[in-house]
A and B are shown apart, each in its own frame.
Chain A
Amino acid sequence: MNRGGTQFWIGAILFLVATFAMTQIIGNQYPFFACYVILQFIVLAVAWNILGGYAGYVNFGTSAFFGVGVYTAVFLFKAAGAPLAVQIAAAAVVGALMGFALGLLTLRMQGIFFSIATIALTIVIETSITNWRYVGGAAGIQMQQPVAMEPFNSYVQMLFFIQALLVVLAVATSRYIQNSWIGRGLQALKDDELAAECTGVPTLRLKLLACVISGALMCAAGAPAAMYLQYADPSSAFNLNYSVSVLAMSLIGGTAHWAGPVIGAILLGTTQQLLTVTISSEVNVLVLGVMLVLFVVGAPEGIIGLIGKARRNRNEGEG
């Protein structure tokens, strides 16, 4: 393992230790409720970036994957009282299958047409769930959290830690893809799919792989949300807000590097949480909108792009 790799894993372990310590030290529940949402957005943004950032296929269907994750968990919980780990694993499998189907779509559709198809995917799935009475249908469904497992005092602390594990899993996967032949292949097909295919890049296989991984992670991130809310209804679970926020997070952070969506999700997620409990009016919607516009105009490559630029300038200054 090279130096960067060692540093990354030390960072990841420290992060997990810190989150675990939080669950043991802090009695106040609010930080867990708020941070859970931010962690959830990190997983979603990182997962989105695997397809949207590396491969350049802009997916507006984040809410479809998220919602399917939620309802996979709801179904398993209602049908078999399945434990959380099973809910998440099953959601990942369902997400991978959905991702595979989405990957096949890319055979015929590129660019804006692919994006529109992903919006359609959200609507189709939401309508199906709306009409599926077993999982509550349009009326929604209430669930009761089981007792939290040791050593956690409350269920939300447990969910928080599990979401932190998912963050590490998602970031490590994303980082691996970026630094391996998969990432280079995706980069090539993002620049010019035809040229990549001609030079021997297995574009279809790579796209399918990116879709499957991205889909599995998004669904896995959605699964614990059912138990977090203890309630699910189609309009909340498939809210287009997830798609838009995740897209904004990745763009603000920067799509070229795995750390981009992480930074974007932390920044935007934290801002959203803070605004909710401070300004708490129409203004918070405005603030987010203005932030997006500023970043798109001022930093088209996101925060990662800005950092890169600053570094280059410094090096030039020194040289």
Chain B
Amino acid sequence: MKRRTFLGGTIAVTTLGLTSSAGAQQPPIKIGMSMALTGGLAGGGKASLLGTEIWRDDINARGGLLGRKVELVVYDDKSSASETPAIYSKLLDVDKVDLLFGPYATVPTAPIMPLVKQRGMVLIGNFAFQVNSKVGHDMWFNVAPWGPPDSWAASFLELGQKAGGKTIALLAADQEFAQNMALTARDVAKRMNMPIVFDQSYPPNTVEFSGIMRALNAAKPDVVYVASYPPDSAGILRAVNEIGVSGNVKIFGGGMVGLQFGAVMENLGSLLNGVVNYNSWLPEPTMYFDGTKAFFETYAKRAVEAKVDPLGYYLAPFGFASGQLIEQAVKAAGSLDQKAIAKYLRENVHNTIVGPIAFSADGERKETATLQAQFRGIVDKNMEQFRSSGKQVILFPAKWKSGELITPFEAARN
């Protein structure tokens, strides 16, 4: 009995949801998304959401989009892949949202790709990595700076090669993102004729890396490419600090997740010095575009109230830029027609607070804008130092370069 009553209830609730959407003459434009507000990705997810909320408040203050207010419909996906299909189905079928933003990161995004493609909706991706390569949705646009899949490893290995590096060591976590990084690094290394002398994956949640670091040192690599997650990034840097690396190592880092977040950076302090790592936005003079400064002034104030990452460089400006992309496309299309929006996004260069964005056919950036930057002169226990320029010197891409690589790694550490 209970089951049937329950099913009946669900039907009733759903129909109610469908009929109650009629309202004022100019209903708001609803943008639906799920976000990691709890679980492992929540730290980044909340900062990213705050960026998008700042955009929403900004555009509403300017009179809205197509003369209508913008409203965000956000549900918590608990950082999990199993929650997002139901959430996006609710957004589309019950909330009847007009536009879609993707969840933060790859795992929660991957399961919704087929659904979104089937419904013919534009999806602005939020830092997912290569989720569209198999699905082939022609209305997917990833705001993340990744670009072509191999550009990430290529930029780091090229820096190493220029510094005189010939051999490579790969150290990667056994997790989705890190393994993708390692996979492309192997291809790039082959193409660049740089032999891999050490290739090790470690299980997630490893905390003690001194054994692994000793084995890595024994292989005498010139370039050490690390693809790790926040807890292990810290563990690896602590092991480097204890044991040291051989004088051969020209460049160290590359794909360490966690070193972009204020709390982790403050915690590691001087251990960061010399590490060259990827990033998406940094407070270097080359990185200020129209509106960037104003955004971070607002963010710094609201981050305190929202209790999220006080720096917010990694994700928050891209949350705002997602909004800017949609704003420009909707204005150009003059309607919410998904095809027209997608066409505009595909064919034009869009100016945002994180720089100009252009998309290639697969919906990723045409050119990579993933930064490689070297930590310099970091002291312990000081969050404010990361706000000034010169602490993370940009080495790649060339157009935003703000300094030269200090090499070898041992020299740069001091």
Contacts and interface: CB of A to CB of B under 8 A. Distances in A.
B107 A35 contact: no
A229 B77 CA distance: 14
Contact of A282 (B38, B75, B110): B38
A37 B114 contact: no
Interface string B165-193: 00000000111101110010000000000
Interface in A191-230: 225, 228-230
A6 interface: no
B38 A281 contact: yes
A89 B323 CA distance: 46
A148 B292 CA distance: 48
B388 interface: no
B174 A29 contact: no
B135 A142 contact: yes
B4 A15 contact: yes
B93 A18 contact: no
A28 B86 CA distance: 12
A145 interface: yes
Given A30-B90, A266-B2, A276-B87, 9 more contacts: A28-B94, A32-B89, A138-B179, A140-B106, A156-B85, A235-B176, A235-B204, A239-B80, A276-B75
A161 B80 CA distance: 24
A280 B72 CA distance: 14
B3 A266 contact: yes
21 contacts: A19-B7, A26-B14, A28-B18, A28-B93, A29-B92, A30-B90, A31-B10, A33-B85, A34-B86, A139-B183, A142-B135, A144-B114, A144-B135, A229-B81, A229-B82, A230-B111, A230-B114, A236-B81, A266-B2, A270-B6, A280-B76
Given A14-B4, A235-B107, A139 B176 contact: yes
Chain A, interface SS category: helix
Contacts of A19: 7
Contacts of A22: 7, 11
A276 to B, nearest CB: 6
A273 interface: yes
A300 interface: no
A77 to B, nearest CB: 13
Chain B, interface SS category: helix
Interface string B43-83: 00000000000000000000000000000001110101111
A285 to B, nearest CB: 6
Most B CB contacts (10 A, CB to CB) among A30, A270, A276 go to A30
A37 B90 CA distance: 14
B34 to A, nearest CB: 9
B37 interface: yes
Contacts of A28: 14, 18, 93-94
A66 B310 CA distance: 40
A239 B114 contact: no
A284 interface: yes
Interface string B1-41: 11110110011001000100000000000000000011000
B291 interface: no
A115 interface: no
A245 B90 CA distance: 23
Contacts of B201: 131, 138
A138 B76 contact: no
Given A139-B176, A229-B111, A236-B80, A26 B11 contact: yes
Most B CB contacts (10 A, CB to CB) among A14, A26, A225 go to A26
A230 B81 CA distance: 10
A144 to B, nearest CB: 6
Interface string A125-165: 00100110000011110101100000000001000000000
B113 interface: yes
Contacts of A83: none
A35 B7 contact: yes
B399 interface: no
A139 B175 CA distance: 6
A145 B107 contact: no
A277 B87 contact: yes
Interface in B125-161: 131, 134-135
Given A14-B4, A239-B82, A281-B37, A31 B75 contact: no
A236 B175 CA distance: 11
Contacts of B180: 139
Nearest to A229: B111
A14 to B, nearest CB: 7
Given A139-B179, A139-B183, A30 B94 contact: yes
A246 to B, nearest CB: 14
A144 B2 CA distance: 35
A280 B37 contact: yes
Nearest to A32: B89
A233 B93 contact: no
A91 B79 CA distance: 27
